[in-house]
Chains A and B, each alone.
Chain A
Amino acid sequence: MKLDLKQHWGGALLSVALALSSLPALAQDGVLDRGIGSEWSSLDPHVNFDAAAAWVQGDAYEGLVTYAPDGAVLPGQAESWDISDDGATYTFHLRDGLLWSNGDPVTAQEFVDGVLRTLNPETGSEKGYYFYSVVNIPGAEALANGETTDPSVLGITAPDDHTVVIQMATPAPHLLDLMGAFVMTPLHGPSYATHGASVFIDPTNMVTNGAYTIAEVVPQSHVLLVKNPNYWDAANVAIERVKYHVTEDVNTELLRYQAGEIDVTYDIPLAQIVPLTESIPDQVRIAPSTEIIYYSFNLTREPFQNIDLRRALTLAIDREVLENNIVRGGAIPAYAYAGGFDPSYDGPEIVEATMTQAERNTLAQELYAAAGYSASNPLTLNIVTTVSEDSTRRAQGIALMWKQTLGVNAVVEPVERKAWLDAFYAGTWDVFADDLVGDFAGAESFLAYMRPSAEAGYNWQSQAFEDAMDAAALLPDRPSRNEALAAAERILLDDYLFAPVAIVPSRHLVNPALKGWDTSVAGYNNSQWMHFE
């Protein structure tokens, strides 16, 4: 019959094509081709806020520290650092003989200048908050708000050409997670003074201090980087040229990978994850990232002020079936909010995580009834989500689960991104398909966002949580801090203001001939660590 024949022919053609091409041609040209998704928002290291453009930034520039492919902190432009006993002062010692790509020496003051530029309101950078929200450096907020223009108020100084001192008001063991190129790129004074911000996009005037320099920029197409001979570790940089391609369409990117045009993809089409994992498992790299998905409840709306109902909705989601059978995007089911990013963080004990789904459903039904709902009096709600394929599938899956387990009438409303953001602040939602990208791979970043004082828009009050976070913020070392944070997370989760759902994965296809690629939660992958075999 017509349908069968077409299906067989079409399916055969495509599967043959995929099978024949599942071994990508080796990159004989010696260029590392990487997909970068949508075009970067800016190549200016003090302005750029995209995670993908951060790869370009990480190749072209280097901060005080750098990161190995597995996420470990390594000395970068600084060869060593001292930490004070109270954990609030870090003294970085720069290497000898550090040079910019044009031969000028790198000085400590240039790191300070980079921070000052990031904080300067005229730069229009959105990254300033790293210096006063994520860590607490005196003077940073005043500079960012324009209350003062006096650089001497900043708690970052360069007492001599080889030393950078960061003096924080409270200790922060995660400071080193922020001292990479994304936040701490130094500013090359002479070229910036002459050419202004165009030095960051114009290869003829560009000066970089990283393993590579930018040789070519074609908007909407690609950025080409070539090896920087003046980099302090140039001897160990194996790949001479790196090309980042704008890959808007994920299916086209896959085809280009199979044709050998791209060595590392930005993403993998959802429908291909299962077949590719079966056919070329060593090339498929899916791992957790620093982004969590959670479904927030609108506390200003009457039904959701009942904690039993919130808990019921949280319990009634079968996260494993949702992520593994329905969304099938590789997301990692999550019962906690801030765990899963930092291996040294244990987090609070979650009773729900150890129950079976049947047990969760039973408890959910009891709580739902206790809240006053039943088959004759069902709850009706809307779920506002973005239009991406993952998100809509997830929302549809959750709506179905709430319907089947509890009898809730859930309507899914996918809207485009700006409208979605706007809807959050307008409060026109019962359940919001929320997500948060952490500022670094640690629990504190996520928990700090939920502070009532941070005014993220959740209308939640809890003095206990604020106090717990304040107490944690004073602890100088990771273990004790993590313990205190776990206690804070306990308070947060016990109020069920949202249902944690899953951790967003990073998904890449990696050419088997490329060595040195590894997956880390923070997702840095400097090209300097890679080589072709």
Chain B
Amino acid sequence: MLRFILKRLGHGALTLGVLITLTFFVIRLAPGGPFSKSRKLSAEVLANIERAYHLDEPLYLQFGRYVWGIMHLDFGPSTRFRDYDVSDILASGLPYSLTIGLWAVLLASVVGVALGVAGALRRNSIADYSAGIIGVAGIAVPIFVIAPLMQVLFAIKLGWLPVGGWNDSWRSLVLPVVALSLPNIAYISRLTRSAMIETLRENYVRTARAKGIGGRRVVWRHAMIGALMPVIAYMGPATAAMITGSILIESIFALPGIGRHFVDAALNRDYPLVMGITIVYGGFLIVFNILTDLVRGWLDPRVRHV
């Protein structure tokens, strides 16, 4: 087991290395650069600024400089936020995204699985359809419609919760967490339901029940594991995405997380920040994929790799 983890971590580091290299060179193919925002810069001033950020050096030199930097956990200065280094930006924003994201993962998993199981057990009943409609609402109604409606209802009309911003209290978390979890509840509930129906139907489950062997608990356990397997696989990339923040949620609820950088840094051609974000997200993704593989292996021995 330990060997497996170490081996996967090793591969993960290699993957991250490839990702960093690929991103570093490819982002420079997009038109424009970090300082092409104002058309008034004279050629000399532009050259000065680019020199200060080492953008005038040959690419391989810039890359070497960058790699040397990350070995020392220095991700470079941001070109858009002149006062800060990329590590400052990530360090200040990540806790917010993580908090919202982790709560959303929890909520989405619990509610999604519950709805899916309920639907599977009472197939084609009113309960199934209701669970289905509730579950899928998160995708039927886009988030950029649901979120403002929630704000109007709970913040303005009822005054229970703040419209946005971070107030250090749990109230600021409620709406963003719910909004972030809704689309995932849709996927999780449908996957769970479908997988559970399949599992309940499997021949030997039927046989076991018919023969009266095993009893409820064994059947249940087996059915749940079967139902959860695709969901667990789904949660690998989904968790990584949720905890690194969603730009939509963080914009609408005015939260100082890192979600917006996934779009804005690229739009601003802030190369160091794009790299930093990529490393953080890639890192989480790799780790969560390892974790979900491990969990699935533990639940279902047939899937184990070692």
Contacts and interface: CB of A to CB of B under 8 A. Distances in A.
Contacts of A253: 254
Contacts of A246: 254, 256
B69 to A, nearest CB: 19
Interface in B85-139: 88-89, 92-93
Contact of A126 (B38, B92, B155): B38
Contacts of B51: 121
Interface stretch (A228-236, A256-264, A398-406): A256-264
Nearest to A147: B44
Contacts of A126: 38, 40-41, 45, 49
Contacts of A145: 42, 44-45, 48
A17 B157 contact: yes
Given A218-B92, A251-B148, A422-B31, A44 B165 contact: no
A48 B83 CA distance: 10
B277 to A, nearest CB: 13
Given A17-B156, A252-B253, A146 B82 contact: no
Nearest to A132: B42
Nearest to A434: B39
Interface string B254-265: 101100100000
Contact of A41 (B80, B151, B267): B80
A419 B166 CA distance: 34
Contacts, number: 151
Interface in B268-283: 268-269
A221 B166 contact: yes
Interface residues on B, range: 35 or more
B162 A259 contact: yes
A421 interface: yes
B220 interface: no
A21 interface: yes
Interface in B140-167: 148, 151-153, 155-157, 159, 162-166
Contact of B163 (A124, A146, A252): A252
B121 to A, nearest CB: 31
A219 B254 contact: no
Given A44-B82, A245-B254, A248-B251, A421 B37 contact: yes
Given A42-B81, A256-B163, A259-B155, A249 B52 contact: no
B152 A14 contact: yes
B252 interface: yes
B2 interface: no
Contacts of B31: 418-419, 422-423, 426
Contact of A249 (B157, B166, B252): B252
Contact of A129 (B40, B163, B250): B40
Interface in A246-280: 246-249, 251-253, 255-256, 258-259, 261
B48 A248 contact: no
B254 A43 contact: no
A43 B165 CA distance: 21
A129 to B, nearest CB: 6
A449 to B, nearest CB: 8
Nearest to B30: A418
A417 B251 CA distance: 19
Contacts of A122: 48, 52
B267 A416 contact: yes
Interface of B: 30-33, 36-42, 44-45, 48-49, 51-53, 80-84, 88-89, 92-93, 148, 151-153, 155-157, 159, 162-166, 250-254, 256-257, 260, 267-269
A-B interface, 9 closest residue pairs, ranked by CB to CB distance from nearest: A418-B32, A220-B256, A422-B31, A42-B82, A121-B48, A221-B256, A145-B44, A249-B251, A422-B32
13 contacts: A21-B157, A126-B38, A128-B45, A146-B44, A221-B165, A246-B254, A249-B251, A252-B148, A256-B163, A259-B156, A417-B267, A421-B39, A422-B31
